[in-house]
A and B are shown apart, each in its own frame.
Chain A
């Protein structure tokens, strides 16, 4: 547990970067600090491992006052990941990962095998162990950065915009893997970002900071989206928050209707038999491939005939995914699949809307 107890950072010129921060990051959870630039989020993070010394208040890690601990010892017990990964360019990937274990006096062999284990854990092949950081892509470097932070199995992780410098597709991948990793490891994580979407995606608890290092709101993501405390938070959380909030709601009870399907290669007659405007195509395992418009089909079905617009939602997934599936399907029938990706059936937009309304409860007029 990390506890900020009216922590202040004031610079000699009178600038207050952090003004009396009170916050608790609970064990085994991800606490995200989010806010505009100048809100003191990075300063707050760096005060935890004393790369910046607070000018007032205390920071307690597992009820121990960090100010009374040796700074280097304190840091060895905390994983730290930063934006550019900050890998040592002159050391191989394996040696980079082994930095803290070596500092703690592990022998070479044990450190090496730990490095290899962690490489696998973050999804990189073992042959990367002897490469240098510049031989890796930005996303791969960032994975090594995470592996390095985890090397000595510290209970606490500090992460400073670790996924901001990679392109959006890679970022999403890294975030998903990070969440998977965290569900295995259960670290106490303090995570800094300026990106509210990242904050609500990753955080168990999100602290929105305003300029001057003061907390505007601390809440779980659904509450933050559903009930922003004031105009600043509402503004910062941004548009579409009602829709985005659905991402945190398990889909309401839905009764998917059976949906007839055809296979690729089906002839014109078979495709047109139902007379429906849109027809769903699935593969031999009954996994949906896409929609076709029978009236436009003049030859046996090929992949090029498929309409790619529709998304697919997993039954029991989030309300947002189900709603999106219904909205995006050209037939306006949202495709639902089971956990293996096999077709369960479809739901109409009206059915989804009604179910969501039922779930969130009707407001009184």
Chain B
């Protein structure tokens, strides 16, 4: 406990760094997953290659991906950009399927009537399909957020500072305090992410919070 009180500054800055490394890719991943998911809905033949292809990215071991990044991006090994890009790839792996399935979950009668009223495809996507896909996308985002918070810690092994650094520190010194505080901070951060996503979802889906059918008559 003394150790924690003495290192609040470190834990704080690690947490901020961790949040940034896990959070930015979450947003970037979503921004890329939306057009890909939309394409896989517009062109049915694209669904399997896109969803399976991006899904496979998730099987690349994180350490390998972090180490590969400088080669692909021409960055230095310590550049946090490596982690951001790698985490974006993982987010994408989870979210392309989510977005594709979320858009497919919009009832045909709704998309058909939107089309029939003269909404062009892009307008239909932003004003009808995406708003209705929010609950499903949100579920996928929650999984991706927790997964990101967990995977980012591996980046400590390539020297990018965040909560994972507490694990390597504790391990090297055979000292439990930093490991436990890193773990707790990770869980708190994951919960915080979850809370933000749930709150945003509530805000974006006011119609889901209204009462059941009232009138039964015609």
Q: Give the residue among A73, A99, A100, A158 with the most B Cβ atoms within 10 A.
A: A99
Q: Is the CB of B205 within 8 A of A75?
A: no
Asked if A272 lies at the interface with its beta carbon under 8 angstroms from chain B, I say no
- CB < 8 Å A-B pair total: 91
Q: Quick check: B116 and A140 within 8 Å, CB to CB?
A: no
The answer, yes or no, to whether A181 is at the interface (CB within 8 Å) is no
Given contacts A88-B110, A91-B207, A136-B214, 16 further A-B contacts (CB under 8 A): A51-B115, A72-B119, A72-B120, A74-B118, A75-B116, A76-B117, A80-B113, A85-B109, A86-B112, A100-B117, A131-B214, A134-B210, A135-B211, A139-B217, A140-B218, A169-B218
B67 within 8 A of A: no
- Between A and B, 18 residue pairs with Cβ closer than 8 Å are A72-B120, A75-B117, A80-B116, A80-B117, A82-B109, A82-B112, A82-B116, A84-B109, A87-B113, A88-B114, A99-B119, A131-B210, A134-B207, A135-B210, A137-B213, A158-B116, A166-B218, A174-B218
The 8 Å CB contact of B215, one of A49, A137, A158, is A137
Given contact pairs A134-B210, A135-B213, A49 touches B218 in the complex (Cβ within 8 A): no
Q: How far is the CA of A148 from the CA of B109 in the complex (A)?
A: 14
| B132 contacts partner chain A, Cβ-Cβ < 8 Å | yes
Contact A75–B115 (Cβ < 8 Å): yes
On chain A, the residues within 8 Å of B119 by CB distance are 72, 99, 103
Q: 1/0 per residue A245-276: CB within 8 Å of B?
A: 00000000000000000000000000000000
Q: Does B70 sit within 8 A of A, measured CB to CB?
A: no
What's the nearest-Cβ distance from chain B to residue A168, in Å?
A: 11
- Would you call A137 and B109 a contact (CB within 8 A)? no
Q: Which residues of A in the span 69-122 have a Cβ within 8 Å of any Cβ on B?
A: 72-76, 78, 80, 82-91, 99-100, 103
Which residues of B have CB within 8 Å of A74? 118
| Closest chain B residue, CB of each to CB of A128 | B215
A residues 152-178 touching B (CB-CB < 8 Å): 158, 166, 169-170, 173-174
Task: Tell me if A236 counts as interface (CB < 8 A to partner B).
Answer: no
Top 6 closest pairs, chain A to chain B, by CB? A86-B113, A139-B218, A76-B118, A80-B116, A75-B118, A86-B109
Provide the main secondary structure of the chain B interface. Answer: loop
Give, as a whole number of angstroms, the nearest-CB distance from B103 to chain A: 14
Residues of chain A within 8 A (CB-CB) of B113 are: 80, 82, 85-88, 145
B215 touches A140 (CB 8 A): yes
- Give the size of the chain B interface in residues (CB under 8 angstroms): 26
Nearest CB in chain B: distance from A291 CB, A: 30
Q: Is B216 an interface residue (CB 8 A)?
A: yes
Assuming the contacts A89-B207, A90-B207, asked whether A136 and B213 have C-beta atoms less than 8 A apart, the reply is: yes
For residue A88, which residues in chain B have a CB less than 8 angstroms away from its CB?
Answer: 110, 113-114, 128, 132
Smallest CB gap from A124: residue in B: B215
Measured between beta carbons, the chain A residues less than 8 angstroms from B112 are 51, 82, 86
Chain A positions within 8 Å of B117 at CB level: 75-76, 80, 99-100, 103, 148
Distance of A72 Cα from B117 Cα, bound (Å): 8
- Shortest beta-carbon distance, A57 to chain B, in Å? 21
In the complex, whether B212 has a CB less than 8 A from a CB of chain A is yes
Q: Given A83-B109, A89-B110, do A135 and B116 touch, yes or no (CB 8 Å)? A: no
